[in-house]
Amino acid sequence: MMRKLPKNFYQEGQTLLIILLILAVILTVGLSTISSSITDIKITKQTEEATRAFYVAESALEERLILPLQAQPLETGSIGGIGYEVAKTGLGGEEFLFPFQTNSGEPQIVWLVGHDEQGQITLSEKYNGPVTFYWGNQDTSEKPALMVSYIYTEGGAYKISRYNFDPDAGRRSSNNFDPASTGSYPIGGKILKYSASIPNLPRGGGIQPYFLKLTLIYNSSPQFLGVKATSSPYLPTQGFCFTSTATVAESGITRKIKQCKLWENLPNIFYWGLYSGGNLEK
């Protein structure tokens, strides 16, 4: 004969089940809260370490930039227990892309002579071979023109040769510029839109080249600008890019900052001078 269960047996079982479900929910919520708190603490710590690493990289870079550009190519150290490394890369050689975009009417210099540790011109290096210029951004409909001035001395007298290029055929009828080619030209990791060449810069035993002054016009937004030398020895060093990397040893969090510094441009008063077809006069 089967034993008869008490009337409240099922009620007690349901109550126990409800209590277990409530405990499971509370446990789940509690574990979720704890996990979220741990994650928040971890994210906060990573953010703090990333911020510290950024400031260390920035500080190391600023200290390096006040030194002569020709200082040792690699520097390592530690600030506040965070290690850093500052590496240097030279700009120039066979091709040179300005590390910043250029505004209309803003002259940029491509040096054809070398510089010493203090940034002073040295004539031990020189380039006066063929050059090709590239400019313009692929993602714009603008058609900037390029004005080039070649500054050199001959027999001790400063002289200038001018070259002007315009990809816009409509404008060339009025400004009398030479045509420029349109295409996709890779240089310095960028794709530039326009191109023009000077196959023969003035050269000879009595000629000492100094620099090319490049000026974009007819552009309302900044544009990339670059140069390629097509014979060796190539362009002298135009400046350096410094990459500062700081790493937190415990977490491996790394922050990297890059900044480029070119040899000093000429003062604006130089460009206010009056240029003749022969000697350079002010």
CA 152 to CA 96: how far, in whole Å? 20
pLDDT of residue 11: 60
The predicted model scores a pTM of 0.77
In a domain, 194, yes or no: yes
In a domain, 139, yes or no: yes
Tokens found for residue 255? 């922050």
153 or 64, greater pLDDT: 153
Q: How far apart are CA 110 and CA 270, in angstroms?
A: 16
Backbone angles phi, psi at 65, to 5 degrees: -70, -20
Q: Is residue 68 part of a domain?
A: no
Question: What percentage of residues in the chain have a pLDDT greater than 70?
Answer: 84
**Residue 17, domain member (yes or no):** no
Average pLDDT of the segment spanning 231-252: 89
Residue 271: band (very low, low, confident or very high) from pLDDT cuts 50, 70, 90: low
What's the gap between Cα 96 and its chain centre?
Answer: 12
Q: Is 144 exposed, middle or buried (0-12, 13-18, 19+ CB in 10 A)?
A: buried
Q: How far apart are CA 32 and CA 38, in angstroms?
A: 10
The proportion of the chain whose per-residue pLDDT surpasses 90, expressed as a percent, equals 41
The number of folded domains in the chain is 1
**Across the chain, which distance is largest between two alpha carbons, in Å?**
131
- Average pLDDT of the segment spanning 62-77: 73
Predicted local distance difference test score (pLDDT) of residue 12: 60
- Please tell me the least confidently modeled range out of 41-45, 200-204, 227-231: 41-45
Which pLDDT band, with edges at 50, 70 and 90, does 130 fall under? very high
Does residue 19 lie within any of the structural domains? no
> Structural domain of residue 251, as residue ranges?
74-271
Q: What average pLDDT does this structure show over 224-231?
A: 93
Q: Residue 255 burial by CB count (10 A; 0-12/13-18/19+): exposed, middle or buried? A: buried
Residue 36 or residue 179, greater confidence: 179
- Note whether residue 231 is domain-resident: yes
Q: CA dist 112 to 8, 202, 211, 216, Å?
A: 101, 13, 5, 19
Rank 57-61, 94-98, 202-206 by mean pLDDT and report only the highest.
Answer: 94-98
Q: What is the pLDDT of residues 179-188, one digit of tens each?
A: 999 999 999 8
| Average pLDDT, integer, range 149-154 | 90
Tokens of 38: 């741990």
Per-residue pLDDT band at 222 (split at 50, 70, 90):
very high
**H/E stretch holding 183:** strand 181-187
Question: Going by C-beta distance under 8 Å and a sequence separation of 6 or more, which residues neighbour residue 135?
Answer: 102, 144, 146, 192, 193, 194, 216, 223, 224, 225, 226
Residues 261 and 238: their CA atoms lie apart, in Å, by 9
The alpha-helical segments, DSSP class H, found in 123-275 are: 169-175, 268-271
Query: Which of 8-22, 49-63, 69-83 shows the highest mean pLDDT?
Result: 49-63
Asked if the structure places residue 237 within a domain, the reply is yes
Which has more pLDDT, 84 or 8? 84
Average pLDDT, the chain: 84
Q: Tens digit of pLDDT for each residue in 164-177?
A: 999 999 999 999 99
- In-domain check, residue 66: no
Instruction: Count each helix (H run) and each strand (E run) in the chain, helices first.
Output: 3, 16
